[in-house]
Amino acid sequence: MPLMRGRTRFWRIAALGLLLFAGAMLVTRFRSSQEPKSLTATVRYSENLPAPLFSGTALQNGCFVLVTRTISLTKVRRTMFDVEKRFNNRFNYPYVFLSEQPFSETFQRSVRKMTNASVIFGLINGEYWQYPEWINMDRAERAAEAWADANDVSADRSGWRHMVRFWAAPVAMHPALHQFKYMWRLEPGSHYTCDFTYDPFDYMQSHGLSYGFAISMEAMPDTVPTLWDAALEYIQSSKPQGENSLGWLISQPTWKSQYLHYNRCEFLTNFELVDLDFIRSEEYQQLFDYLDRKSGIYYEHWTDASIRSLAVALLLAPSKVRWFDDVGYKHDLLNNCPAGANRQMRCHCDPSKSSHLVPMSCSARWNLTASRIDFDTISSS
């Protein structure tokens, strides 16, 4: 009997232990489901990356470019995490970080740990981070206050406007970029939601492209009220003779008017692939200087997207530009989600919510309407 009682006690203890273990596992699972996921877990990557598809083994002369500050380190790391996992761990293109303020040692160490690629840090010349000498400061301040009141934002956005102006053209002249031909702009906090099966830099070079985008939308009317008038003035004074893609920027005649009209389409430049020689070209620099003197960045709400999009449409043939519709990209509420790639299980996004499906999108319009337009047919009305 003592032996039986001992065995019974053993099995009771064992059963109790199993129950406690099972309970602990349930609690752990519940807690893990309620706790925030780590940065690594926020994006589900394919177990087996497709073999890279590119025309050659040599890297092109390209780099990633970020204009940011030390305070944005967390956002920078999130974006670099995506870029490395989705693409650059197989190619090791360098990163160029630019700021009007020196980056802290902590920032520099932290971003270097994110990649095996080389990392370059550069300072932006102070002349690009202040108001141009021709700006009427009273008018600029009134414009900033009016915009702030209408959009419920801070009126003190001078740093943002300086950054916009820098991205519009001076970035290509920065000494840190002199050695590079191609620039892939990265926006801190943006996400890349699909694995890359080819090298976009190599695609740009092998197809002779000058510009690539992922998302394009119509700008709000109150942001660029005089941009098109400025563009028409430039066209009349400079009389450009080369190719253009103005068909993308022009809406067809309607019952309201017999003329073609500016539709305010813009490329979202927080993702862009650019042949820097295009921005460095005499034609681009002349157009930028003309628009810069119009001061719409400071008196209205022109952005680098406004200026870059106009330059692309005025100066490049459609064959020089590509909508990278196969790139999974998300920034704030806007995203590009490729349905084809998603069916291959390379993406973590919903194709039905891709921004190119909304009425204000100009992405698909590029493939449908980008064409050369005779300047004589364009109206300023």
pLDDT of residue 135: 97
Query: Rounded to an integer, what distance in angstroms lies between the CA atom of residue 375 and that of residue 336?
Result: 32
pLDDT value, residue 4 = 43
Q: Using 50, 70 and 90 to split pLDDT, how confident is the model at 146?
A: confident
Per the annotation, the verdict on 272 as an active-site residue is: yes
- Asked if 205 and 275 count as a contact pair (C-beta separation under 8 A), the reply is no
The whole-number pLDDT of residue 142 equals: 92
Instruction: Give the residue-averaged pLDDT of 351-374.
Output: 91
pLDDT exceeds cutoff 50 at 217? yes
pLDDT tens profile 275-289: 999 999 999 999 999
Give the per-residue pLDDT at 45: 30
Pick the catalytic residue from 84, 187, 266, 272: 272
Cα separation, 291 vs 238, in Å, equals 13
Residue 252 is predicted with a pLDDT of 64
Considering the chain, what is the average pLDDT of its residues? Answer: 84
Fold exhibited by the domain 62-377: Spore Coat Polysaccharide Biosynthesis Protein SpsA; Chain A (3.90.550)
Quote the CA–CA distance of 365 and 264 in Å, as a whole number.
Answer: 12
Q: What is the average per-residue pLDDT within 14-33?
A: 44
Over range 164-182, report the average pLDDT: 98
Q: What is the pLDDT of residue 374?
A: 83
One-letter identity of residue 363: S
pTM of the model: 0.82
Residue 379 pLDDT greater than 90, yes or no: no
pLDDT above 70 (res 137): yes
Residues 77-104 have pLDDT tens digits of 999 999 999 999 999 999 999 999 999 9
In this predicted structure, what is the pLDDT of residue 172? 98
> pLDDT for 109-127, tens place per residue?
999 999 999 999 999 999 9
Confidence (pLDDT) at 154: 54
- Parse the chain into domains and list their residue ranges: 62-377
pLDDT the model gives residue 277: 99
- Give the pLDDT confidence score for residue 46 in this predicted structure: 33
Q: Is residue 41 scored above 70 in pLDDT? A: no
How many Å apart are CA 118 and CA 70, to the nearest integer?
18
What's the pLDDT score for residue 309?
A: 98
Q: Taking residues 29-45, what's their average pLDDT? A: 33
Residue 220 has a pLDDT of 92
Residue 344's pLDDT is: 63
Mean pLDDT of 314-329: 96
Strand arrangement, sheet containing 191-192: 191-192, 329-331, 334-336
**pLDDT recorded at residue 30:** 38
56: pLDDT confidence band, cut at 50, 70 and 90? very low
